[in-house]
Amino acid sequence: MDAAHTKITLASRMICQRCVLPESKPDIWLDGEGVCNICREFDQQKKDPGGQVKFLESDFIKILNQNKSHGPYDCLVMCSGGKDSTASLYYMKKRYKLNPLAFTFDHGFETEEALENIHHAVEILGIDFLFFKSDFMKEMFARIASSDDKVVICHPCSLWYMGLTFEMAARFDIPLIVAGWTKGQSTNQPLMSRCGCNVHQAEFVSMSKATQAFLDQYTKENLKYKDFPRSMEEVLNKAKKRHKAMVVSPHWFLPTDPAVYVEILKKELKWKFPRLSYPGLSTNCYLNFLSVYYSMKNFGFTHYHVEMSKMVRESLLSRQEALKLLEINFDQDVLEMVRQKLMPNEGI
């Protein structure tokens, strides 16, 4: 029997006329002209000539020179199999002629397509590869997916991933951690979680509070997670005591358009877009679908809306393109499939 696909319906909200953020009080609100407070703040900062920092590739080369390795690897590259992190790996090896160690972690929900992309890249580029797979987080993920808490699944995951990355950098004495974060994912701060645990950014205040409240309670109740970090600051402080490593992304410094490097990756590294992923033209794990669904339901937006809004403000992406990429492109059946993977014993 072929069941009809069940469409996802979400309450519609007013969207900022300039970026793609919806009204989500108290953090995001629209003024009389339909423009959000984040866009207005951006305008204010633009007026201040010291407020805008533009990075150049020469700045990146300076960073590489200042962080030379004494061990076998020059940098540890966080690889998710997506276009941006695969391009980072490619640039570190080919453009900057360094010897990277590729690092991928799989919490059990990475897609076969993403892992295949990574395998092709490390094989073709001849790069050493560290693959860490563990179901350590499964219970926590299942708890989040089955509770009414507004915690965003991606947040604890990125805390764990960042912590592991620093541990690996320490293990191999690597001074530089390279991520695939784009300009929309960067901030003036030296490090930000890919998934928006940045408590200092207005758009993330409510999400971060929900995550923090969940982790405070859950890690107290569950011995298995008693040492689990509660915030990115905690991850960074712990890491700093053991080993100093700088986190940086080449995309912050390069003028390259993703359309350009996707073509290179396809041609040289057999890289492919996955069949289905949210947002459009991205590569993410299965749990991302659940995370996106709950973020939309609870807050009216996801961290992808924040990242793309930033790119729209900086004229790196058109508002129309962003709206297209952010359209919900999956249905209830996909959510059910992920829930089954996460909680096989729950008869849904």
List of E strands, 169-308? 176-178, 246-248
Question: Could you tell me the smallest distance in angstroms from the CB atom of residue 46 to Zn ion?
Answer: 14
Question: Could you tell me the smallest distance in angstroms from the CB atom of residue 316 to Zn ion?
Answer: 15
Q: Is the Cα torsion angle 21, 27, 29, 35 positive or negative in sign? A: negative
The stretches of 25-127 forming alpha helices (DSSP H) are 37-47, 57-66, 83-90, 112-125
User: In this structure, are strands 75-78 and 246-248 parallel, antiparallel, or unpaired?
Assistant: unpaired
Q: Which is nearer to Zn ion, 39 or 317 (CB)?
A: 39
Radius of gyration of the chain (CA): 20
What residue ranges bind Zn ion (CB under 5 A)?
16, 18-19, 36, 39
Q: Which is nearer to Zn ion, 34 or 51 (CB)?
A: 34
Q: Which is nearer to Zn ion, 16 or 174 (CB)?
A: 16
Q: Which is nearer to Zn ion, 18 or 120 (CB)?
A: 18
Among 247, 78, 232, smallest CA distance to 155 is for 232
Q: Which is nearer to Zn ion, 39 or 127 (CB)?
A: 39
Question: Could you tell me the smallest distance in angstroms from the CB atom of residue 112 to Zn ion?
Answer: 37
Question: Could you tell me the smallest distance in angstroms from the CB atom of residue 21 to Zn ion?
Answer: 5
Question: Could you tell me the smallest distance in angstroms from the CB atom of residue 32 to Zn ion?
Answer: 14
Instruction: Output the DSSP codes for 211-222.
Output: HHHHHHHHHHH-
Question: Could you tell me the smallest distance in angstroms from the CB atom of residue 250 to Zn ion?
Answer: 28
* Distance of alpha carbon 315 from alpha carbon 305, whole angstroms: 15
Question: Could you tell me the smallest distance in angstroms from the CB atom of residue 207 to Zn ion?
Answer: 17
Q: Which is nearer to Zn ion, 23 or 113 (CB)?
A: 23
Q: Which is nearer to Zn ion, 159 or 308 (CB)?
A: 308
* Distance of alpha carbon 270 from alpha carbon 90, whole angstroms: 12
Question: Could you tell me the smallest distance in angstroms from the CB atom of residue 27 to Zn ion?
Answer: 12
Integer distance in angstroms from the first to the last C-alpha of the chain? 18
* Distance of alpha carbon 191 from alpha carbon 194, whole angstroms: 9
Question: Could you tell me the smallest distance in angstroms from the CB atom of residue 16 to Zn ion?
Answer: 3
Q: Which is nearer to Zn ion, 15 or 87 (CB)?
A: 15
Q: Could you tell me the strand order of the sheet in which 246-248 lies?
A: 128-133, 100-106, 75-78, 176-178, 246-248
Which residues touch 156 (CB under 8 Å, ≥6 apart)?
Answer: 137, 140, 144, 211, 214, 215, 228
Residue 59, φ and ψ in degrees, nearest 5 = -65, -40
**SS3 state at 248:** strand
Q: Which is nearer to Zn ion, 15 or 137 (CB)?
A: 15
31, 79, 177, 192, 300 from 165: Cα distances, Å: 41, 11, 8, 14, 31
